[in-house]
Amino acid sequence: MITPAQIRAARALLGFSVDQLSAKSGVSAFMILQVEDEKSATLDQATLLTLRNALERAGIAFLADGDCPPGGMGVRLVARHDTGEGLRPENLNATNDG
C-alpha cells in the first residue's frame, strides 16, 4: 500500500492543497491530515485506496521499493491522458478567454 509520506509528496507534486485533494477524492480534509500524519496509529486501507485512486487520476504514479533502483518507495508524475490540444493562437478571443 502507500505511505503517508507518499501522499504528502504526491500532493506537493500536483500542487494540491488538502482541501483540493478532499474535493477530488471525497475524503474529508480532516481525515487526509490524519492519514498524512506519520504518527497515526492505524491507517484505514479503504481511505488509502480512495486517496491513491484520486491521486493516480490526477497524474501520479506510486513507486514501490525496488521499482526504480537504487531508490526506495516514492511518487512521480506521469503523462496525463486528459490534456487537450487547447486553442490555437489565431482562435483566441474575448469569448474563450479563461
CATH number at residue 28: 1.10.260.40
Residues near 35 by beta carbon (within 8 Å), at least 6 away in sequence = 4, 7, 27, 43, 44, 47, 48, 51
Q: Return all residues near 52 (Cβ < 8 A) that are at least 6 apart.
A: 1, 2, 62
pTM of the model: 0.73
Percent of the chain at pLDDT exceeding 90: 47
Task: Provide the domain limits for residue 13.
Answer: 4-77
In a domain, 94, yes or no: no
Q: What is the number of domains present in the chain?
A: 1
**What's the pLDDT score for residue 39?**
78
Asked if residue 98 has pLDDT above 60, the reply is no
pLDDT digits (tens, 9 = 90+) for 64-84: 876 666 777 889 898 655 555
Scored b (16 or more CB within 10 A) or e, 56-68 reads eebbbebbeeeee
Whole-angstrom distance, CA of residue 10 vs CA of residue 32: 13
User: Is residue 90 included in any domain, yes or no?
Assistant: no
Average pLDDT over residues 54-66: 90
92 part of a folded domain:
no
Is residue 60 within 8 Å of residue 14, measured between CB atoms? yes
Q: Does residue 93 lie in a domain region?
A: no
Task: Tell me whether residue 86 is in a domain.
Answer: no
The mean pLDDT of the chain is 84
37 Cβ neighbours under 8 A, 6+ residues apart: 4
pLDDT of the residue at 29: 94
Cis peptide bond N-terminal to 70, omega within 30: yes
Query: Within a domain: residue 10?
Result: yes
Q: Is residue 57 part of a domain?
A: yes
Residue 71 lies in a domain: yes
